[in-house]
């Protein structure tokens, strides 16, 4: 999707994708990453998700990347944190206790600027991208994180019934994107109550991605 699409969604408050509670699959499955307290978790295209508050309350540090500065300002306001803000290359860096967010194009974020992360939580990023962008995105995440383990939440549904986003991403697509670097494990499936956007039956799935590269610090 073009950047203007998402920026306009925030400007016009078309943010039906924003959930009113922490994602149930995050709450039930995050422990499968087996992260010690104070681990640093990267959330790509984070918006102002309440998942961040859940992770902070659970004792983790969070670093996000988000295109919309409106979303990031609202995130910090809702967390009750006054951020320090500074430019980092073409991005803006918002920071507070145990939380940082890079504002701008995620493809402009470098591994050096991001710093080490212990895991990736991808709830709304992969499914927000059309198929033409997913390969570049997946490779960028692998480079940014040095192949950190991931908890990825996806939707499966008949793409012909709904244009997306969120887009359908099934196990075969995940394998194509990440199978060379990770072992994939489906942890849990939930039927979307009432269907996706009330238009079609859909399943939400949580996937654990464990890196397979020899010598990885995350093995």
Binding site for S-adenosyl-L-methionine, residues?
A: 10, 45, 66, 123
Residues in the chain: 219
Instruction: Quote the tokens at residue 157.
Output: 């549904």
Alpha-carbon distance of 37 to 13, in angstroms, equals 35
Which single residue is written with the structure tokens 């060379």?
180
Q: Which residues are annotated as part of the binding site?
A: 10, 45, 66, 123
Q: Do the beta carbons of residue 207 and residue 176 sit within 8 Å? A: no
Alpha-carbon distance of 211 to 59, in angstroms, equals 24
Q: Do the beta carbons of residue 107 and residue 136 sit within 8 Å? A: yes
DSSP code of 161? G
Alpha-carbon distance of 216 to 115, in angstroms, equals 16
Instruction: Quote the tokens at residue 95.
Output: 């920071």
């Amino acid at each position: 999707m073009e950047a203007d699409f998402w920026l306009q969604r925030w400007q016009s408050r078309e943010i039906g994708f924003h959930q009113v509670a922490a994602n149930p699959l995050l709450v039930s499955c995050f422990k499968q990453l087996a992260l010690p307290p104070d681990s640093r978790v990267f959330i790509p295209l984070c918006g102002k998700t309440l998942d961040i508050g859940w992770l902070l309350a659970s004792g983790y540090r969070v670093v996000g990347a988000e295109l919309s500065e409106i979303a990031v300002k609202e995130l910090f306001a809702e967390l009750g944190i006054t951020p320090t803000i500074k430019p980092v290359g073409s991005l803006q860096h918002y920071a507070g206790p145990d939380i940082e967010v890079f504002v701008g194009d995620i493809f402009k974020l470098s591994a050096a600027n991001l710093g080490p992360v212990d895991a990736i939580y991808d709830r709304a990023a992969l499914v927000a991208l059309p198929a033409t962008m997913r390969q570049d995105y997946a490779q960028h995440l692998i480079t940014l994180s040095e192949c950190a383990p991931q908890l990825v939440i996806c939707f499966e549904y008949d793409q012909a019934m709904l244009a997306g986003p969120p887009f359908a991403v099934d196990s075969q697509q995940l394998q194509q994107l990440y199978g060379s670097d990770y072992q994939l494990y489906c942890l849990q499936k939930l039927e979307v109550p009432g269907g996706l956007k009330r238009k079609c039956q859909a399943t939400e799935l949580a996937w654990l991605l464990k890196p397979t590269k020899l010598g990885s610090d995350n093995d």
